[in-house]
């Protein structure tokens, strides 16, 4: 188990054991191999909401708004359109072939993404956070599980994500409980 996943499960015990995923099918749908720490994170929690605010996207989620594939369908094209219209593109995405894939969102609409650079292995992908309906971005040079565990532990802060993170008491609710 990833050390950051171990820390996260200590902070926020998983609610139940989620159903296993067909990662080959998921990765074919997304168009790339996904990071090992994310697969372990989904294996421990499944999709759902941390601390009443931050949603972990899940492949095959019953609630389509929190499904990894649905959330990423055309999203990069939408950002490219915004940048072509003059919205400032984050410097981290200026390198030819760089892109992002969403892995989380918030109740306010902020997005959490993997930053993918050409030739980079999935386990080396880092985190980008985008404000809801705005051009501000933050980059965190850590994996998604490291970011999530550090955010909930209070050892990393985001100027974009709600100031109520971390919550005084942690909670995880699986996506299936919101249907």
**How far is it, in rounded angstroms, from Cα 99 to Cα 37?**
19
Residue spans of the domains in the chain: they are: 3-178
Mean pLDDT check: name the lowest of 21-35, 91-105, 158-172: 158-172
Taking only the tens place, the pLDDT of each residue in 108-125 is 999 999 999 999 999 999
CB 166 within 8 A of CB 26: no
- At residue 174, the 3 state secondary structure works out as strand
Please say if the pLDDT value at position 179 is more than 70. no
Cα angle 159, 59, 117 (rounded to 5 degrees) comes to: 55
Q: Which CATH architecture has domain 3-178?
A: 3-Layer(aba) Sandwich (3.40)
- In the chain the first and final C-alpha atoms are separated, in Å, by 30
Question: Sheet containing 172-174: which strands, arranged edge to edge?
Answer: 137-140, 126-130, 111-116, 99-106, 54-56, 48-50, 172-174
**How far is it, in rounded angstroms, from Cα 147 to Cα 140?**
8
Q: How many other CB atoms are there within 10 angstroms of residue 179's CB atom?
A: 8
Q: Are strands 54-56 and 137-140 parallel, antiparallel or unpaired?
A: unpaired
pLDDT band (50, 70, 90) for residue 154: very high
Taking only the tens place, the pLDDT of each residue in 127-149 is 999 999 889 999 999 999 999 99
* Residue bearing tokens 């989380």: 104
Please say if the pLDDT value at position 1 is more than 80. no
């Amino acid at each position: 188990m990833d050390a950051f996943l171990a820390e996260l499960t200590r902070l926020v015990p998983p609610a139940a054991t989620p159903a296993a995923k067909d990662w080959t099918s998921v990765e074919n749908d997304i168009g790339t191999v996904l990071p090992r720490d994310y697969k372990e994170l989904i294996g421990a929690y499944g999709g759902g909401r941390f601390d009443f605010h931050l949603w972990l996207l899940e492949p095959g989620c019953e609630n389509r708004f929190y499904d990894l594939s649905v959330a990423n369908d055309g999203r990069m094209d939408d950002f490219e359109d915004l940048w072509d219209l003059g919205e400032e593109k984050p410097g981290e995405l200026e390198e030819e072939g760089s892109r992002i894939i969403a892995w989380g969102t918030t109740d306010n609409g902020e997005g959490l993404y993997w930053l993918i650079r050409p030739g980079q292995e999935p386990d080396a992908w880092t985190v980008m956070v985008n404000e809801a309906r705005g051009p501000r971005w933050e980059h965190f040079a850590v994996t998604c599980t490291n970011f999530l565990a550090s955010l909930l532990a209070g050892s990393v802060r985001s100027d974009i994500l709600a100031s109520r993170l971390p919550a005084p008491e942690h909670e995880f609710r699986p996506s299936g409980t919101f249907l």
